[in-house]
Amino acid sequence: MTLDAHVVVQRGSLAVDVDLTVGAGEVLAVLGPNGAGKSTVLRVLAGLLTPDGGRVALDGGTVWDDGAVHLPAHRRSLGMVFQDHLLFPHLSVTENVAFGLRTRGARRAPARAAAQAWLDRVGLAGLGDRRPGELSGGQAQRAALARALVGDPRVLLLDEPLSALDARTRLTVRAELHRHLAEYAGSAVLVTHDPVDAMALAGRVVVVEDGRVVQAGTPAEVARRPRTDYVARLVGLVLLPGTARGTTVELEGGGTVAVGEEAAGPVFVAVRPTSVSLYPERPAGSPRNVWPLRLASATPHGSVVRCDLAGEVPLTADVTATSFAELRLAPGAPVWASVKAADVSVYAR
């Protein structure tokens, strides 16, 4: 393992206690809501924040061990990319990228040459003489990536590297970041609150909420089988905990759901809002999953209207604008919701 850490930090009312391991060539995404302690963990890994306990090992060497070992930030072999790039405003772009090489003893000419080679790699050839203030947001973040990677660090830390960019720039910079991370031989840790960043860039995801890891796995596993409401919302699912017996799940909040596969014991039921249908009256035939609910709120969501439903089984339904108009629904209005058992996934809790 190139990075092996157990981080314990108390920050105000937030108690952070997180284990992370990242192998060489691996990209780990730390996904979580704002204030979950993600950036705190990253700052501890970088040596910018002294933790209250635990252990941090980078590249086989222990850099922090509960007070016994403490290697300061500037002596750890790592590169870091910050949310708002933090390029030094008084230095040219080339000097910014060469900064890390110069502080580590490289001579001016080779440092500049290496910096320029990296600026070429990130598509900033010819912009090296500019000041950071003369770059666009995307260009500045590319320069920041070059600055972090130029010394070939064993560990790369990315703190919300795309969240300060506008939507279109984010798309292109994300694609480039993906390419550079694929070529990168060291361990990378990406902190983000955007599931798309995590899914697109990382080989493994840990979800951190309230300072704890609540779920870990590949992006596909996390997206398909969320284990907390936060993750479920991020990946667009409604999560219902319950107890399964055969193809029926007794929900914790009351009510039952028929599911497509047999299961037993404590489970999660995940429902995709697009597979929920709404009817003004009880639908004909005998679907197994049909509930009388009330409309709690309705918000436009792309080309559909997202309807949050309250009642025995709190669901969310995405319906087209046309059908929403035909239903003539006002908040609080009764509505029947139905979902096919085959469209409901179930997995152990």
- Give the binding site for other proteins (CB under 8 A): 43, 46-48, 72-76, 78-80, 82, 86, 88-91, 99-100, 103-104, 147-148, 151, 157
In the complex with other proteins, which residue's Cβ is closer, 78 or 240? 78
In the complex with other proteins, which residue's Cβ is closer, 54 or 79? 79
Taking the complex as a whole, the smallest distance from the CB of residue 155 to other proteins amounts, in Å, to: 10
Would you say the C-alpha torsion 238, 244, 249, 255 has a positive or negative sign?
negative
- CA gap 176, 87 in Å, rounded: 19
In the complex with other proteins, which residue's Cβ is closer, 181 or 346? 181
Taking the complex as a whole, the smallest distance from the CB of residue 132 to other proteins amounts, in Å, to: 11
Q: How many residues are present in the chain?
A: 349
User: What 3-state class would DSSP assign to 348?
Assistant: strand
Phi, psi dihedrals of residue 318, rounded to the nearest 5°: -100, 115
Taking the complex as a whole, the smallest distance from the CB of residue 51 to other proteins amounts, in Å, to: 16
Give Cα 139 distance to the centre of its chain: 23
In the complex with other proteins, which residue's Cβ is closer, 101 or 238? 101
Residues 181, 188 contacting (CB under 8 angstroms): yes
DSSP state at residue 283: P
In the complex with other proteins, which residue's Cβ is closer, 89 or 265? 89
Angle at 289 between CA 285 and CA 292, to 5 degrees: 90
Query: Shortest CA distance to 288 belongs to which of 252, 254, 337?
Result: 337
Query: Shortest CA distance to 73 belongs to which of 51, 42, 54, 46?
Result: 46
In the complex with other proteins, which residue's Cβ is closer, 18 or 46? 46
Taking the complex as a whole, the smallest distance from the CB of residue 183 to other proteins amounts, in Å, to: 21
- CA gap 137, 285 in Å, rounded: 57
Angle at 346 between CA 343 and CA 349, to 5 degrees: 155
Phi, psi dihedrals of residue 75, rounded to the nearest 5°: -105, 5
Taking the complex as a whole, the smallest distance from the CB of residue 81 to other proteins amounts, in Å, to: 9
Angle at 142 between CA 184 and CA 95, to 5 degrees: 100
The pair of structure tokens assigned to 114 is: 């290496």
Taking the complex as a whole, the smallest distance from the CB of residue 135 to other proteins amounts, in Å, to: 16
In the complex with other proteins, which residue's Cβ is closer, 47 or 54? 47
Taking the complex as a whole, the smallest distance from the CB of residue 111 to other proteins amounts, in Å, to: 12
Residues 133, 64 contacting (CB under 8 angstroms): no
What is the gyration radius of the CA atoms in the chain, in angstroms?
25
In the complex with other proteins, which residue's Cβ is closer, 103 or 320? 103
Residues 108, 55 contacting (CB under 8 angstroms): no
In the complex with other proteins, which residue's Cβ is closer, 44 or 207? 44
**161 half-sphere exposure, CB direction, 13 A CA radius:** 34
In the complex with other proteins, which residue's Cβ is closer, 188 or 344? 188
DSSP state at residue 129: T
Taking the complex as a whole, the smallest distance from the CB of residue 131 to other proteins amounts, in Å, to: 12
Taking the complex as a whole, the smallest distance from the CB of residue 100 to other proteins amounts, in Å, to: 4
Query: Shortest CA distance to 178 belongs to which of 140, 152, 145?
Result: 145
Taking the complex as a whole, the smallest distance from the CB of residue 240 to other proteins amounts, in Å, to: 42
